[in-house]
Amino acid sequence: MITTVTLNPAFDKMLSVAEIQIGETNRTQNVFTSVGGKGINVAKVLRDLDTEVTATGFLGGEVAPIFVEKMKEHGIENRMVPIRECTRTNIQLYDAQGRRTELLEQGPNTTAEERTALLNEVAQLSAQSSVVAVCGSAPGGVDKPYYRELLRAAKQSGASLAVDASGPLLKAALEEHPRFIKPNRSEMLELMERDEASDGEMISFAEHLVQSGIEYVLISMGARGAALLCGDGVWRGAAPNIPVKNTLGCGDTMVASFCISLQQDLSPADMLRNAIALSSANAMTLEAAHILPRDYRALLPHCMVTKIG
């Protein structure tokens, strides 16, 4: 079983508008709504691939019943921890030119009792899981010491720990040496404390992360593919040429792919190829964090991976 941990889930609304007029009334068309947050998105993709997955994290307020129902529909085992405050709602606005504007709520505050309950839940699930993926941002009350304690609970029973975070949370995670991390380009620059860097400079920095005890570092580079670094070397993979409908959730899809790869102990080349193919399949659908298995299978032969070091 794979477990995902979403500290700050979100009820997502995608809306389309001809043109956003600041300070004016904007009439929108509802494209769709979904339950999300990075860990929830990972869980949805895993279920698209018929993989057993349990989701935990904080969940509360008027949107909680929607999450419960949607997770049931997706076949995700629900072990979310109830909280008093309301889980956030995020809005994605798409204009006629295809530009996306995001309105992201900060999220609820959590109490000490709620945080302790989640620690206990994660520790229990770790004992039943081959991989635990801790993904996304954190709500109020979650500081670095708590986050590190949560990561230790996630791997205390021998589960492989995967982390997809940014900023201070990612820096805190490095101190707990997860087996896998997936920074994108901007997150790598944050770690490097740089405004800009070449691909080669980012790869060199990631090599130091591997030497420090992170087994796999996957750098996602959007349309330019991705780079995977591990003790066996460096691999680069190119994204296939596809009709892109939506890039939202592509990074989460890569994390889902690596959860399966860690579970199956695949080679680095296959890990990277599968991740790029799955992410590309996500980009071919309008809904975030959703793939069609036939698209994934069709894309695999077109994902070229090369060892470069």
Q: How do residues 62-114 score in pLDDT, each as one tens digit? A: 999 999 999 999 999 999 999 999 999 999 888 888 788 989 899 999 999 99
Q: What is the CATH number of domain 2-19+29-307?
A: 3.40.1190.20
Average pLDDT, integer, range 205-213: 97
Q: Of the listed 195, 252, 265, 295, which one is catalytic?
A: 252
The DSSP H or E segment spanning 257 is helix 250-264
41, 27, 100, 101: which is closest to 76 by C-alpha? 41
CA-CA distance, 207 to 217, in Å (whole number)? 8
Average pLDDT, integer, range 179-183: 98
CA-CA distance, 119 to 132, in Å (whole number)? 13
Q: What pLDDT is recorded for position 62? A: 96
Find out whether 56 and 125 touch, Cβ atoms under 8 Å. Answer: yes
The DSSP H or E segment spanning 57 is strand 53-60
Kindly tell me if the per-residue pLDDT of 52 is higher than 90.
Answer: yes
| All structural domains of the chain with their residue ranges | 2-19+29-307
Average pLDDT, integer, range 16-31: 86
Catalytic site includes residue 252: yes
The amino acid present at 211, given as its one-letter code, is: Q
Q: What pLDDT is recorded for position 190? A: 95
